[in-house]
Chains A and B, each alone.
Chain A
Amino acid sequence: MKDIIRLSIILGFVCSVSAFSLSFVYQHTKPIIEQNREKELRESLSNVLPETKIDYNPITEGELFDALKANVALIALYKGSKDGKTVYAASVSVGGYQGAIRLLIGFDPAVPEVLGVRVLEQAETPGLGSRIEEEDFLNKLKGRLRPQGKYDTITGATISSSAVIGGIVRTMKAVLKARRKG
């Protein structure tokens, strides 16, 4: 019995020293980690909505938000203004080959037209599926909505690139729907 108490105290002591030092490191690194995340988001946003004044606080209501929420796995929606027009960037999640792919799609809902696409996160096969991050592929996704078959997939990465294309087509269809209602 005495032994159990002694061992518990020692182990408890080791754990509290560990917890204390970890909380110190955490407090130190947390602001930097958050800053990085923020910076990355801003860079991606200005990438998919070039020359646009962007509001970095996501919007959480409105016709468009509801339509996207109902039709795609929407993570966040951002608003910006470009030459007097209101443009949006939607961060959506689609199912890839190995897991979720997070996309950021910048679009002008009035046309509707895709202004730019970025891959925020993906865990596709390196060298094959991961090629969905290449500019060549992403740039071809810009423009007005086309039927799914009219987009080029990547050889050797059919599933991953189709997932990205499907995500864009579904998002733009939801935008069309919202416009018809409004």
Chain B
Amino acid sequence: MNLKNFTKGLWTDLPVLRVLLGFCPTLAVTNKAANGLTMGLATTFVLLFSSSLISIFRRWIPSRIRIPIFIVVIASFVTIVDYTLAAYYREMHKVLGIYVPLIVVNCLILGRVEAFASKRPLGDSILDALGMGIGFTLVLVVLGSIRELFGFGTIFSHQILAKPYEPMVIMIVPPGALLSLGLLLGLMNLVSRRLEERR
């Protein structure tokens, strides 16, 4: 086991901002921090269990039908998440709606399973899935907080910007997602370039 497999998901291979995968849920559900958090946790759950299962059975999966098998495994865990959310977190299920089933086609998950879990031992795969999942969740929460702050004046439904501040509606509709994601990407590139120069 190598701890690097965990930490790379948090910085060098940070999902969305460094490895440009998983944009659909990122843009679609981040109008509030809580939505981003739930989406991130749901994705982490699916990624963790799919990666572990596929890593355990990697020697028995014929390479010619590996993609269909990966999809079946991922889709099963997504459906489990979908039912569980509908049963125990009905409000959240209503908000996320169609985007929960769409986790199936999140390239981030298929990408990690194909590129990592199907070739590495269980321990490393778990670390990789956790790192990537937590990194993805962090990005969604940061993006969700920025959009919620300017769009509603709140973060996690706590009032931050009070009355004289007029909420910017553009931040909670899709264009706001693209704008803030673009700015965040730019900031990320700036920071990592500065860090490299210093080295």
Contact = CB atoms under 8 A, between A and B. Distances in A.
Interface stretch (B72-80, B130-138, B181-189): B72-80
Contacts of B88: 32
B76 A7 contact: no
A143 interface: no
B interface secondary structure, majority:
helix
B83 A29 contact: yes
Nearest to B168: A127
Interface string B68-96: 11001101100110011011101000000
Interface stretch (A11-19, A74-82, A104-112): A11-19
Nearest to B35: A126
Interface string A8-28: 001100110010011001100
A126 B31 contact: yes
Nearest to A11: B65
Interface string B51-75: 0000000001110110011001101
A22 B87 contact: no
Given A29-B86, A36-B90, A123-B97, 12 more contacts: A7-B62, A7-B64, A10-B62, A10-B65, A11-B72, A18-B75, A21-B80, A22-B80, A29-B87, A33-B86, A36-B86, A125-B173
B169 interface: yes
B65 A7 contact: yes
B167 interface: yes
Contact of A11 (B68, B87, B169): B68
Interface in A81-125: 123, 125
B6 interface: no
A156 interface: yes
A18 B65 contact: no
Contacts, number: 59
Range of interface residues on B (Cβ < 8 Å):
20 to 34
Contacts of A29: 83-84, 86-87
A127 B172 contact: yes
A40 interface: yes
A22 B76 contact: yes
A127 B97 CA distance: 17
B62 A127 contact: no
B132 to A, nearest CB: 23
B73 A36 contact: no
A128 interface: yes
A145 B60 CA distance: 69
Contacts of A125: 173
A33 B64 contact: no
A32 B93 CA distance: 14
Nearest to B64: A7
Given A125-B173, A126-B172, A156-B169, A25 B72 contact: no
